[in-house]
Amino acid sequence: MPTPAVHRSPIGVRVVRTDADLRKVLALRAAAAPGGAAAGSAEPDGFDRLPNATLLLAESRLDGEALGSLRILTSERGPLTFEGRVALPAAARAESLAEASRLVVRRGRHATLARLMLWKAFHRYCLAAQIDAMLIAVREPADRQYAWLGFTDVLPAGVRFSPEGDGTPTHRLMRLGVFEAHERSLRTGHPLHDFFFVESHPDIELLAAVGAAATRAPRPAVRAASLPDHAHIAAQLQELAIV
What pLDDT digit, counting tens, does each position of 7-30 carry? 888 999 999 999 999 999 999 999
Q: Mean pLDDT across the stretch 61-76? A: 95
Q: Is the pLDDT of residue 241 over 70?
A: no
The span from the CA of 60 to the CA of 114, in Å, is 9
Residue 229 above 60 pLDDT? Answer: no
Q: Look at 181 and 166; give whichever has higher pLDDT.
A: 181
The pLDDT of residue 218 is above 50: no
Structure confidence by residue, pLDDT tens digits, 119-136: 999 999 999 999 999 999
pLDDT digits 0-9 by tens, 80-114? 999 888 889 999 999 999 999 999 999 988 899 99
Q: What's the rounded Cα separation, in Å, for the pair 232 and 177? A: 24
- Between CA 53 and CA 47 the distance in angstroms is 7
Measuring CA to CA, which residue among 105, 99, 81, 125 is closest to residue 25? 105
DSSP 211: T
**CB distance 178 to 132 below 8 Å:** yes
- What value does the mean pLDDT of the chain take? 82
Q: Are strands 66-74 and 53-60 parallel, antiparallel or unpaired?
A: antiparallel
Per-residue pLDDT of 167-208, as tens digits, reads 788 899 999 999 999 999 999 999 988 888 888 888 999 865
Residue 212, pLDDT score: 34
- Amino acid 4: pLDDT: 64
Taking only Cα atoms into account, the Rg of the chain, rounded to an integer number of angstroms, comes to 17
Q: Is the pLDDT of residue 228 over 50?
A: no
- For the chain, what is the total number of helices (H) and then of strands (E)? 9, 8
CA atoms within 13 A on the CB side of 107: 6
- What's this model's pTM, rounded to 2 decimal places? 0.81
Q: Is the pLDDT of residue 215 over 50?
A: no
Beta strands (DSSP E) in the chain are 11-15, 53-60, 66-74, 97-105, 133-139, 152-153, 171-177, 204-205
